């Protein structure tokens, strides 16, 4: 009997660990980089740029990047090609097949001796363009790695860090974002709740409503999670609410307060100049 209890306890721990691993993995944005369209350059160069870009995105520790071999394998099964995809709606459909949140498409072109890398990041759920970023190399192909590194730095700074509330207790909340996601003590987090989807007249999803819930301040940050304190709240925070890293303070909507009018100081007339 004792051995059975130990066995089930060990099984429980393993299951919990596996669940937490999946949970933490999901806190990172999952992204896939398709092969870029080659313009005035050979396709091998464009493919190399996409490969290096995928590696650099992974090294930021901000994204779960789908291996390009896996992308090719899945698309081959669906009899699709990922080379030269520049249409956002097509990219979004491919993103759904790959089960990713964001998908990156772009071009590599050459004008004179300068190489240009143009990227577009598409939100798979909405099919909307989320980010467009360009980098260039004036040092030919030798300068492409440095240009890609700078490009990834710019992309990382512009993509919003998002996670979820996983525990709420006595004014403190636990979020599934940590140091590995760029979270540090003292940062401000916005809590929001996803509402209804927004569609155009044709029924295509073009967005979603969000309700502001609260503002948090990060107190402690571990590698995979962080503890934050509630600074202001418009409504009670619930497990599953989304959190977003913000760069500026978020003001909770309040009733308009009467603004006291400041009395203007009476300006005395200027002294006329003496008459001679």
CB 229 within 8 A of CB 217: yes
Where are the strands (E) in 69-204, listed by range? 102-111, 114-123, 129-137, 162-169, 172-175, 188-199
**pLDDT of 273 higher than 70:** no
Tell how far CA 245 is from the center of its chain.
Answer: 9
Tell how far CA 7 is from the center of its chain.
Answer: 41
Tell how far CA 270 is from the center of its chain.
Answer: 60
Angle, in degrees to the nearest 10, between helices 68-77 and 43-59:
120
What is the pLDDT confidence band of residue 49, given thresholds at 50, 70 and 90? Answer: very high
pLDDT of residue 194: 83
pTM: 0.57
203's enclosing H/E stretch is: none
Q: Is the dihedral of CA 33, 37, 39, 41 positive or negative?
A: positive
CA distances from 56 to 34, 114, 151, 201 (A): 14, 21, 9, 39
Name residue, tokens 């970023």.
133
Overall average pLDDT of the 245-260 stretch? 45
Encode 25-34: b = buried (16+ Cβ within 10 Å), e = exposed.
eebbbbbbbb
The CATH superfamily assigned to 26-158 is TolB, N-terminal domain (3.40.50.10070)
| Residues pairing with 68 in the sheet | none
What is the pLDDT confidence band of residue 274, given thresholds at 50, 70 and 90? Answer: low
Mean pLDDT of all residues in the chain? 78
pLDDT of residue 56: 93
Phi-psi region of 240 (alpha: psi -120 to 50; beta: other; left: phi over 0): left
Q: What is the largest CA-CA distance in the chain?
A: 118
pLDDT of residue 26: 45
Q: 173: which residues sit within 8 A by CB, 6+ positions away?
A: 165, 167, 191, 216, 227, 228, 230, 237
What is the pLDDT confidence band of residue 141, given thresholds at 50, 70 and 90? Answer: very high
Q: Range with the lowest mean pLDDT among 67-81, 88-102, 225-239? A: 67-81
pLDDT of residue 198: 80
Overall average pLDDT of the 104-122 stretch? 94
User: Which among 20, 48, 12, 3 has a CA at the least distance from the CA of 166?
Assistant: 20
More confident residue, 91 or 56: 56
Overall average pLDDT of the 206-212 stretch? 79
What tens digit of pLDDT does each residue of 184-199 get? 899 889 999 987 778 7
Overall average pLDDT of the 230-250 stretch? 79
Rounded percentage of the chain residues whose pLDDT exceeds 90:
40
What residue segments make up the domains of the chain, in order of their start?
26-158, 162-246
pLDDT of residue 255: 42
Q: Do domains 26-158 and 162-246 have the same CATH topology?
A: no
What tens digit of pLDDT does each residue of 88-111 get? 888 888 888 889 989 999 999 999
pLDDT of residue 83: 58
CB 45 within 8 A of CB 116: no
Q: Tokens standing for 58?
A: 């992974």
Best CATH choice for the domain 162-246 from the list 1.10.10.10, 2.40.10.410, 2.40.30.10, 3.40.50.1000: 2.40.10.410
| Residues pairing with 102 in the sheet | 31, 123
More confident residue, 60 or 78: 60
pLDDT of residue 191: 92
Q: Which of 18-22, 79-83, 228-232 has the highest mean pLDDT?
A: 228-232
**pLDDT of 55 higher than 90:** yes
């Amino acid at each position: 009997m004792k051995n059975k209890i130990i066995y089930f306890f060990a099984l429980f721990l393993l299951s919990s660990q596996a669940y937490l691993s999946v949970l933490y993995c999901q806190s990172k944005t999952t992204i896939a980089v398709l092969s870029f369209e080659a313009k005035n350059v050979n396709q091998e160069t464009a493919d190399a740029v996409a490969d290096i870009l995928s590696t650099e995105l992974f090294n930021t520790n901000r994204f779960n990047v789908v291996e390009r071999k896996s992308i090719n394998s899945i698309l081959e099964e669906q009899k699709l090609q990922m080379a030269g995809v520049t249409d956002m709606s097509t990219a979004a459909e491919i993103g759904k097949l790959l089960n990713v949140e964001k998908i990156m498409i772009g071009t590599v072109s050459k004008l004179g001796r300068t190489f240009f890398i143009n990227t577009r990041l598409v939100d798979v759920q909405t099919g909307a363009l989320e980010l467009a970023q360009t980098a260039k190399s004036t040092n030919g192909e030798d300068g492409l790695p440095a240009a890609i590194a700078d490009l990834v730095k710019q992309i990382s700074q512009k993509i919003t860090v998002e996670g979820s509330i996983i525990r709420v207790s006595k004014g403190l909340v636990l979020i599934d974002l940590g140091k590995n996601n760029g979270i540090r003590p003292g940062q401000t987090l916005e809590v929001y709740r996803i509402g209804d989807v927004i569609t155009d007249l044709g029924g295509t999803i073009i967005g979603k409503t969000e309700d502001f819930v609260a503002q948090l301040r990060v107190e402690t940050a571990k590698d995979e999670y962080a503890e934050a304190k509630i600074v202001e709240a418009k409504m009670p925070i619930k497990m599953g609410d989304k959190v977003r890293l913000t760069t500026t303070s978020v003001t909770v909507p309040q009733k308009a307060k009467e603004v006291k009018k400041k009395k203007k100081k009476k300006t005395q007339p200027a002294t006329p100049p003496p008459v001679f």
